[in-house]
Amino acid sequence: MTDRAYQKICVLGLGYVGLPTAAVFASRGVDVLGVDIDERAVALINDGKVHIVEPDLDILVKGAVAAGKLRAKLVPEKADAFIVAVPTPFTDGKKPDLSFVQKAIESVATVLKSGDVVIIESTCPVGTTDSASRWLAQARPELTFPHTDGDDADVQVAHSPERVLPGRVLIELVRNDRVVGGVSGTCAKRAAQLYRIAIEGDCHLTTARTAELVKLSENAYRDVNIAFANELSLVADKLGIDAWEAVRLANRHPRVNILNPGPGVGGHCIAVDPWFIVDSAPDETPLIRAARGVNDAKPVHVANAVRDASKRMNSTNIACLGLAYKADIDDLRESPSVDIVADLANSGDLNLVVVEPHCQALPDKLANLVGVSLANLETALADCDVVVLLTDHTAFRDLEPEAHETKTFIDTRGLWK
């Protein structure tokens, strides 16, 4: 059911959050214009196709485009609401890079009219949504905005962070609760009214600044807890204890829920967002910073363990299973598995046979390194004496290390425990 206030919306940024969001609103009968700077993505979407891998997204986009409810363009058009879902990476100095958000907001400013709602879904440092309201006001001085005019403003500005898990985006987009933070109370109410067209979860209304911190806290919480598990795994290794067994048994306690140790933390969110908190309160965040350090150091620890095994086995033939940052996806961004293979390649004397069932070719970071090749599982197992499991893909689950007595297996994920 469309809400009469929202006949048409623009979604800026057609990535793994923006495109599913656009398609879900379109499937609810809203006229949706998706906007992206990537010409190839725009052309594919207008053809009813998708440029990212996410279960069922292709079907939803195809249907929405065929029904005339979803189109894509390089620039926005007039609409009733604008959802900004562009990336917010960090710079080399671990500072947030808001240039994509700022450019998207500037392009919205060119088509904005009184009564419109602008919502930022991109993860951003506290204060960004208030800044967006100021940026819009600078571009459109004849309109009023909530940072100066509060509930009486012509245009509403809000932050509602995306919280979906890659691999389950379409389910979580509709079912998860949403935090909706407004620069004013009216901003939050109007933004929630939009989400209720498509969202089954509850909308929790708050301020834009609180909503910004909520999102950052969620990912920092996970990072800190994974760091705890990773630190425990180093302790367990040193003491000759199976870390996954220790975690599993500790979790039998009714108030303990330790996460799983792994080769490090990848993806474009959990390894990045904690730095946005550290940047805004550096003196108050020793724990969050330390957790980042523990998780970032884990790939080096794994690479050293592989080099030790190679020496013990007197063999330089190493099978590396998995490159993606987590199981059963093709996403290699910030993946510790890629970093570990690159680190091992820098040793100079190893023959690294990589198996990644979700990729047809090695990523740029590995493609030109000496001694790294891509192979299937059978070839890698036949040719290598050390086997390191880096990503817990289902395709590796049935491999039985005990059936290969002459090889050394390093299981960084606890998949075969």
For ligand SAJ, the binding residues (CB under 6 A) are 123, 162-166, 218-219, 222, 226, 259-260, 262, 265-267, 269-270, 325-326
Q: Which is nearer to ligand SAJ, 186 or 206 (CB)?
A: 206
Q: How far is the CB of 89 from ligand SAJ (least distance, A)?
A: 12
Rounded CA separation 304/298 (Å): 10
Contact 299, 307 (CB under 8 A): no
Q: Please report how close the Cβ of residue 368 comes to ligand SAJ at its closest, in angstroms.
A: 25
Distance from C-alpha of 415 to C-alpha of 391, rounded to nearest angstrom: 9
The secondary structure of residue 268, as a DSSP letter, is S
CB of 35 to ligand SAJ, least distance (A): 20
E strand or H helix that includes residue 40: helix 39-46
Shortest Cβ distance from residue 222 to ligand SAJ (Å)?
4
Q: CB-hemisphere CA count at 13 Å for 117?
A: 29
Mention every residue, 6+ apart, whose C-beta is less than 8 A from residue 292: 223, 227, 271, 274, 275, 278
Q: What are phi and psi of 39, to 5 degrees?
A: -60, -35
Shortest separation between residue 264's beta carbon and ligand SAJ, angstroms: 7
Are the C-beta atoms of residues 387 and 363 closer than 8 Å to each other? no
Cβ 85 vs Cβ 25: under 8 Å: no
Catalytic residue among 203, 269, 320, 384: 269
| Single-letter amino acid code for the residue at 24 | V
Full DSSP string of 177-234: -EEEEESSHHHHHHHHHHHTTT--SPEEEEEHHHHHHHHHHHHHHHHHHHHHHHHHHH
Which residue has tokens 């609409």? 79
Beta-carbon count within 10 A of 158 CB: 33
- The residue annotated as part of the active site, out of 124, 203, 215, 320, is 215
Active site residue 187: no
Q: Which one, 221 or 409, has the nearer CB to ligand SAJ?
A: 221
The CB-of-137 to ligand SAJ minimum distance in angstroms stands at: 29
| Amino acid in the structure at residue 396 | F
Q: What is the CA radius of gyration of the chain?
A: 24
Cβ within 8 Å of residue 160, ≥6 positions away: 119, 120, 121, 178, 179, 180, 181, 191, 195, 211
Three-class SS state of 263: coil
Give the tokens for residue 312: 């013990």
Closest approach, Cβ 261 to ligand SAJ, in A, equals 7
Residue whose CB is less far from ligand SAJ, 110 or 257: 257
Residue 215 annotated to the active site = yes
> What is the nearest approach in angstroms of ligand SAJ to the Cβ of residue 290?
17
Measuring CA to CA, how many Å separate 76 from each of 10, 109, 312, 346? 7, 10, 60, 46
Active site residues: 215, 269
